[in-house]
Structure 1
Amino acid sequence: MTQLEFQGDPPAFGHSMLKYFAFDSDYVNLNHGSYGSLPLPVLAACNKLTMQIESNPDLFVRIKQTELITKCRAQISKFVNAKTNEIVLVRNTSHGINTIMRSFEWSAGDVIVTCTSTYDAMKGLARFLHDGPGHPKVSQFVIQWPTSHAAIVAGYRAHLQSIPRHAGQKVVAMIDSITSVPGALMPWQALVQVCKEAGVYSVIDGAHSIGQEMNIDLGKAEPDFWVSNCHKWLFAKRGCAVMFVAERNQHIVKSSFPTSKVYISPSDREFPGQSFIEQYNWNGTIDFVPPLSITAALEFREWLGGEDAINGYCHDMAMRGGAHLASLFGTRVLDETGEFTCNMVNIQIPLPPSVHPSEEITNLFNQKLLAPTNRKTKVSAGIFYHNGAWWARCSAQIWTELGDFELLGSVLTEVCEEVAREYGQ
């Protein structure tokens, strides 16, 4: 990053921040949580790095990239309070969770624990593993909002206790730290402890955590595995994620994906986790810019004022924006107490329950919001159905203001009326 990009103090959070992003002037982004948003200063750093790589690919790939990747791993390890030798970089959270879950040697009687709020791709992974050798059973824990962290922890403990156990059995729990839909902070640290008590492996899907969830402390929480996207809330370039594998479990993840040339057969290893880090440092030619953009993203966040300033603003805006939009709709927010809210807020939209959920209706909402035929302004939010009602998941970011929620409210009111006319019964 150049000095020009960081001259002086940053502007106030709100619309003044839009100049640091590449959004179209007629686009209102309230769905940052889905795909992230790359700041222009980080993009400039990425472009500079791209030119450095292309100026001498052999020099960069053969000599320089390992040093830079190691630096990134050290920075992000400190950020989440983990040992550097427990952290590697992968393409995205789904990639990391797949690597972990496919590394277990499944046997008849093993169990994979999911939740009704588990991300759809991860539910698909559990089904895929069930269909494969060993055929582990999938046991689903039901979560329906409104609820509380205490109720979830108590219910989860009872659910694990209800699973029949036998000697040699593996039980592996896939747990969201922040669920995708609804966008809700889970008591995942407490659930990790419940898993420890029950002799269950904890695999934390932290796709939405890093850059949104405050004070992530893997050293204190001690999950078995944890993966989080850096291109969502941390402002890194798509796609890169950080994958944590506790030292005690590195023998389970025997190979990176793809398998690296430095793979060592378990029978030939001097210690169980040998070659774990090295496999992820090099397992085929990739675009090295996304993982290395973590450094620039962290510098940008520090210039903005750091994690407390960023997430303090975004959380406050999520709470105020959600309440304001619910008031405009005459509805409610999903999380009345704020216990589940980080920087994403879920607001019930004025669509009757007689409109049943379908992919066709979800696609229609996307079309009406993002590619309208009768208005210039485009706006994004995550529309979903939960527990008998329709909701909008809105992501608050450093550029968000209350007026953005009002604009979304105006558009959604119009779209909901149209959907109700066409699909209501």
Structure 2
Amino acid sequence: MTQLDFDGDSPAFGHSMLKYFAFDPNYVNLNHGSYGSLPLPVLAACNKLTLHVESNPDLFVKVEQTELITKTRARISKFIGAKMNEVVLVRNTSHGLNTIMRSFEWNAGDVIVTCNSTYDAMQGLARFLHDGPGHPEVSQFVIQWPTSHAVIIAGYRAHLQSIRRHRGQKVVAMIDSITSVPGALMPWQTLVQICKEMGVYSVIDGAHSIGQEMNINLGKADPDFWVSNCHKWLFAKRGCAVMFVAERNQHIVKSSFPTSKVYISPSDRKFPSESFIEQYNWNGTIDFVPPLSISAALDFREWLGGEKAINAYCHDMAMRGGAHLASIFGTRVLDETGEFTCNMVNVQIPLPPSIEPSDAIDDLFQQKMLRPTNRKIKVSASVFHHNGAWWARCSAQIWTELSDFEVLGSVLREVCNEVKREIQAVY
């Protein structure tokens, strides 16, 4: 199946939705949050656009692409409640956050605020910046689940207050809107307001937000910077992301990456944000299909019933599926109140806490879950260690049913036993 018409009514959510995706029939996908999953109707739209581009690349690049990018930006800006002149399209969230963070002119005494749940590549970015010119200090805020939004808010305020301040100092906070592991909704809008009160720049890692978090309104939340992947929960083609830079801060992000031919030296600009949008319209030859697939993804989501219907199903499935998996294991979910849960749920798995996290353990789980030698079914969920226990982060999607959690439970129990045996054999 390479193309499906979705002019008629959409089927009910659940396994009947699987025909709109290209999954191996022996694959149970509970890890959509990591890489996204491309719907076949969106793939068909991408293929059609690819053929159009290849029919006359000169015409597309020199004449058509800027208009199409502008239309896409207009649509996605409205979707996230932002002004169009503050929104550009980039390759992925890591690309956008690197562009932003590397644009600051770091000086001695500057501080980058991270969290122990900050995505590992962004932790690496903070270390890289610390190792570079200016050597900004990295100050880490620690969260240990189970907790509450109220505790996080109070702790974050106290953490920022504890940072010694001096004239001319920059403090830049990297804040997750939804953390990767554990998969948890953060009170990021309130943390943004705390940053404003304390003169701290807020850089929001929204990799998991768009398409999962309801009612994103950047005009109201007013962060300094915000980036989100459209190929995760929104159903666009990998890889594309939307990057928001508040107009007041566009003088900081002086250049796109790579630098565009329309770059203007700050001393020559008529106004601080001159050429900001134009730099991202063209900064080298790329495949323009992924960012332009955003429109097809939004069309598909509207056909499914819109954001409220999609997220109501996925959230309910995450809550019920997580509780069901915990009952299978005789364990617990990380977020029992649901305060942190959008469409990802974290369930403790039967692996002894004495087994320390390592790349080798990660590889064992991936190999045994995705390339089994003793069973036909393959499953995926993100396995991680937090606060003295092992957990599985499960992503609920429009194709998910409770039986998928049962399959995952059966496989994970088997894999945990295999991992324990292999660890014991080594030690």
TM range (shorter): over 0.9
Partner of 2:29: 29
* In 2: Cα distance, 1:338 partner to 1:7 partner: 35
> Could you tell me the TM-score, scaled by structure 1's length?
0.99
* In 2: Cα distance, 1:242 partner to 1:207 partner: 10
Partner of 1:329: 329
Partner of 1:187: 187
Aligned-pair distance for 1:421?
2.2
Partner of 2:94: 94
Tell whether 2:226 aligns with 1:245.
Answer: no
Aligned-pair distance for 1:422?
2.4
* In 2: Cα distance, 1:353 partner to 1:28 partner: 26
Tell whether 2:142 aligns with 1:142.
Answer: yes
Letter matched to residue 348 of structure 2: Q
Partner of 2:167: 167
Letter matched to residue 358 of structure 1: S
Partner of 2:108: 108
Aligned-pair distance for 1:3?
11
Aligned-pair distance for 1:186?
0.4
* In 2: Cα distance, 1:61 partner to 1:161 partner: 50
Partner of 1:176: 176
CA deviations on 1:368-407 (whole Å, 9 max, x unpaired) are 1000000011000000000000000000000000000000
Change (3 A) 1:74 1:375: same
SS in 2 for 1:165: coil
Letter matched to residue 55 of structure 2: S
Letter matched to residue 17 of structure 1: M
Partner of 1:226: 226
* In 2: Cα distance, 1:245 partner to 1:177 partner: 16
Aligned-pair distance for 1:51?
0.3
Letter matched to residue 33 of structure 1: G
Letter matched to residue 375 of structure 2: R
Tell whether 2:422 aligns with 1:387.
Answer: no
Letter matched to residue 254 of structure 2: K
Partner of 2:197: 197
Tell whether 2:20 aligns with 1:20.
Answer: yes
CA deviations on 1:265-304 (whole Å, 9 max, x unpaired) are 0000000000000000000010000000000000000000
Tell whether 2:54 aligns with 1:54.
Answer: yes
Aligned-pair distance for 1:328?
0.5
**Cα root mean square deviation, aligned:** 1.0
* In 1: Cα distance, 2:7 partner to 2:278 partner: 38
Matched-pair contact (CA < 8 Å) for 2:3–2:41 = no
1:31-46 counterparts in 2 under 5 A?
A: 31-46=31-46
In the alignment, structure 2 segments of 5+ residues that lack a partner are none
Letter matched to residue 114 of structure 1: T
SS in 2 for 1:25: coil
* In 2: Cα distance, 1:103 partner to 1:8 partner: 47
SS in 1 for 2:113: strand
126-135 or 351-360, larger mean C-alpha shift:
351-360
Aligned-pair distance for 1:4?
6.2
* In 2: Cα distance, 1:324 partner to 1:6 partner: 33
Partner of 2:396: 396
Tell whether 2:285 aligns with 1:290.
Answer: no
SS in 1 for 2:409: helix
CA deviations on 1:294-315 (whole Å, 9 max, x unpaired) are 0000000000000000000000
1:309-348 counterparts in 2 under 5 A?
A: 309-348=309-348
Letter matched to residue 388 of structure 1: G
Count of matched residue pairs: 424
Aligned-pair distance for 1:414?
0.8
1:205-220 counterparts in 2 under 5 A?
A: 205-220=205-220
Partner of 2:356: 356
* In 2: Cα distance, 1:4 partner to 1:35 partner: 22
Matched-pair contact (CA < 8 Å) for 2:28–2:380 = yes
* In 2: Cα distance, 1:27 partner to 1:417 partner: 21
SS in 1 for 2:5: helix
SS in 2 for 1:70: helix
CA deviations on 1:341-381 (whole Å, 9 max, x unpaired) are 00000000011112111110111000010000000110000
* In 1: Cα distance, 2:274 partner to 2:415 partner: 56
* In 1: Cα distance, 2:295 partner to 2:317 partner: 27
* In 2: Cα distance, 1:331 partner to 1:422 partner: 23
Letter matched to residue 83 of structure 2: K
* In 1: Cα distance, 2:57 partner to 2:357 partner: 49
In the alignment, structure 1 segments of 5+ residues that lack a partner are none
* In 2: Cα distance, 1:5 partner to 1:190 partner: 42
396-405 or 5-14, larger mean C-alpha shift:
5-14
Question: Identity of counterpart residues, as a percentage?
Answer: 86
* In 1: Cα distance, 2:215 partner to 2:7 partner: 28
CA deviations on 1:192-239 (whole Å, 9 max, x unpaired) are 001001100000000000000000000000000000000000000000
Letter matched to residue 84 of structure 1: M
* In 1: Cα distance, 2:253 partner to 2:419 partner: 47
Letter matched to residue 286 of structure 1: I
1:128-139 counterparts in 2 under 5 A?
A: 128-139=128-139
CA deviations on 1:94-144 (whole Å, 9 max, x unpaired) are 000000000000000000000000000000000000000000000000011
- Deviant stretches of 4+, over 4 Å: none
* In 2: Cα distance, 1:114 partner to 1:355 partner: 26
* In 1: Cα distance, 2:354 partner to 2:230 partner: 39
Aligned-pair distance for 1:7?
3.0
* In 2: Cα distance, 1:331 partner to 1:261 partner: 56
SS in 1 for 2:383: strand
SS in 2 for 1:6: coil
Change (3 A) 1:4 1:146: closer
